[in-house]
Amino acid sequence: MSEGNKEILAPASARMFELVFPKDTNYLGTAFGGFVLSLMDKAASVAAVRHARTNVVTARMDGVSFHVPIKVGDAVALQARVVKVGRTSMTVQVDVYREHLATGEQQLATSGTFVFVAVDASGKPTPVPSLETPSEVAE
């Protein structure tokens, strides 16, 4: 589908899975916040690149909430999806789930939004495709 010269794509997403090792934790044995934010930024950037089809840069991290601690030995499953698009920017929602590997039990551990700007080869902001609405997907 297209809207004028602007291509419309379905919202892009990304999934990642990572194990938490002692090097990723503090003296209490829980994951450093910076480690979790780094994983979130990576997952979000993959979703943003998939949507923009060009390079992106992180512009902002918004409303990151740490709900439950992630412990050494846990796995983390990240889900990122583009939820809003501006002219050159995209907002990506990221949810991080703590998983106990032996039981498979998952719990939402961290969530937040990241804003990315699409850039061209010279590093200047470049337009991104619109998000496809659910009604357009059904057509």
Look at residue 3 and tell me if it is in a domain: no
Look at residue 77 and tell me if it is in a domain: yes
| Residue 78 near residue 106, CB atoms below 8 Å | no
| Residue 83 near residue 32, CB atoms below 8 Å | no
How confident is the model over 16-40, as a mean pLDDT?
A: 97
Look at residue 122 and tell me if it is in a domain: yes
Look at residue 75 and tell me if it is in a domain: yes
Is residue 126 packed enough to be buried (19+ CB in 10 Å), middle (13-18) or exposed (0-12)?
middle
Look at residue 137 and tell me if it is in a domain: no
pTM of the model: 0.86
Looking at the DSSP bridge assignments, the partners of residue 80 are 14, 94
> What are the pLDDT digits (tens) for 66-88?
999 999 999 999 999 999 999 99
Look at residue 14 and tell me if it is in a domain: yes
Of 89, 87, 78, nearest to 38 by C-alpha is: 78
What is the rounded distance in angstroms from the CA atom of residue 2 to the CA atom of residue 108? 36
Look at residue 109 and tell me if it is in a domain: yes
Query: 116: domain range?
Result: 8-126
The CATH number assigned to the domain holding 51 equals 3.10.129.10
> What are the pLDDT digits (tens) for 90-133?
999 999 999 998 899 999 999 999 999 999 999 999 999 998 75
Number of domains the chain contains:
1
Confidence check: pLDDT of 1 > 60: no
Report the pLDDT value the prediction gives residue 85, as an integer from 0 to 100.
Answer: 96
Look at residue 131 and tell me if it is in a domain: no
| Residue 88 near residue 117, CB atoms below 8 Å | yes
Confidence check: pLDDT of 2 > 70: no
Report the pLDDT value the prediction gives residue 42, as an integer from 0 to 100.
Answer: 98
